[in-house]
Chains A and B, each alone.
Chain A
Amino acid sequence: MKKVVVFLMILSLLTVSFVMASQIELSFWNGFTGPDGSYFQKIVDQFNTEFAGKIHVTMTTMAWGDYWTKVPVSLASGQGPDIGISTEDHILSIADQGMIRPLTPYMNTLGVSKDKFYSAVWDNGYFKNQLWGLPIDQNPLCVLYWNKTLFKEAGLNPDQPPVNRQQFIEYAQKLTKVVNGNQQYGTMISTGWPTYFIWYSIFRQNGGSLFNSDHTKAIYNDNAGLDALQFLYDLVYKYHVSPTNVQVDSDVRAFQNGTVGMEFNGLWELTAYEQTPGLDFGAVLCPQLGSEIPAVDSGADYLVIFNKKGMSNDNIQAALTFFKYVEEHISIWMQSPKLPAEPSVLSDSFFQSIPMLASITKDANNIVYPHFFNLWGQATGPIWDAINYALTGKKTPVQALNDAVNTSNQILASQQTY
Chain B
Amino acid sequence: MRKNSIWGYLFLLPFLSFFGLFVIFPLIRGVYMSMTKWGLYGGNLGFIGLKNYQLLFDPNFFMSRQFWESMWATTQFMIFSVPLFIFSGLGLAILINNQFLKIKTVSRMIFFVPVALSAPVIAVIWMWLLEYNSGLINFLLTFIGIGRIPWLTQQPWAWISIVITTLWWTVGWNMIIFLGGLQNIPTELYDAAKVDGANSWNTFIHITLPGLRNVIFFITIFQIIASFNLFAQPQLMTGGGPGRSTLPVMLYIYQTAFNFSLPYMGISSAMSVISGGIILIIIMILFLTLGKEAY
A residues at B contact (CB < 8 Å):
65, 68-69, 72-73, 75-76, 90, 93, 96-97, 99, 191-193, 243-248, 250, 253-254, 257, 259, 374-375, 377-378, 385, 388-389, 392, 394, 407, 410-411, 414, 417-418
Contact = CB atoms under 8 A, between A and B. Distances in A.
Question: Which of B127, B152, B261, B262 has the most chain A CB within a 10 Å cutoff?
Answer: B261
Given A72-B40, A247-B152, A392-B242, A407 B134 contact: no
B41 interface: yes
A192 B239 contact: yes
B259 interface: yes
B134 A253 contact: yes
Contact of B261 (A65, A97, A254): A97
Contacts of B258: 65, 68-69
B244 interface: yes
Contacts of A68: 40, 258, 260
Given A75-B41, A191-B241, A254 B262 contact: no
A245 B63 contact: no
A223 B36 CA distance: 42
Given A259-B133, A392-B241, 4 more contacts: A97-B41, A374-B262, A377-B261, A418-B55
Contact of B133 (A254, A394, A411, A418): A254
Given A193-B239, A250-B132, A73 B40 contact: yes
Nearest to A71: B41
A133 to B, nearest CB: 16
A414 B61 contact: yes
Question: Which of A75, A99, A388 has the most chain B CB within a 10 Å cutoff?
Answer: A388
B240 to A, nearest CB: 9
A416 to B, nearest CB: 11
B165 to A, nearest CB: 14
Contacts of A96: 261
Contacts of A93: 260-261
B132 A247 contact: yes
Contact of B242 (A193, A250, A253, A388): A388
A250 B131 contact: yes
A73 B43 CA distance: 8
A193 to B, nearest CB: 7
B42 interface: yes
Contacts of A193: 239
Contact of B241 (A254, A375, A388, A414): A388
Contact of B243 (A99, A253, A388): A388
Nearest 3 interchain pairs by C-beta: A72-B41, A245-B150, A93-B261
A358 to B, nearest CB: 34
A258 to B, nearest CB: 12
A247 B243 contact: no
Nearest to A413: B62
A377 B242 contact: no
Contacts of A246: 132-133, 153
B261 A410 contact: no
A410 B62 contact: yes
A418 B239 CA distance: 27
Nearest to A248: B239
Nearest to B151: A247
A176 B131 CA distance: 20
8 contacts: A93-B260, A192-B241, A193-B239, A259-B134, A378-B259, A411-B62, A414-B62, A418-B267
Nearest to B131: A250
A245 B153 contact: yes
B17 interface: no
Contact of A389 (B55, B60, B243, B267): B243
Contacts of A75: 41
Given A192-B239, A193-B239, A385 B244 contact: yes
Contact of B132 (A73, A245, A374, A417): A245
B202 interface: no
A385 B62 CA distance: 14
Given A375-B262, A407-B62, A247 B153 contact: yes
Nearest to B132: A245
Interface in B217-253: 239, 241-244
B154 interface: yes
Contacts of B63: 414
B257 to A, nearest CB: 10
Nearest to B152: A247
Nearest to B239: A192
Nearest to B130: A247
A243 B133 contact: yes
A88 B42 CA distance: 21
A99 B41 contact: yes
Nearest to A70: B40
A69 B40 contact: yes
Interface in B248-292: 258-263, 267
B242 A254 contact: no
A90 B133 CA distance: 36
A254 B134 contact: yes
A188 to B, nearest CB: 8
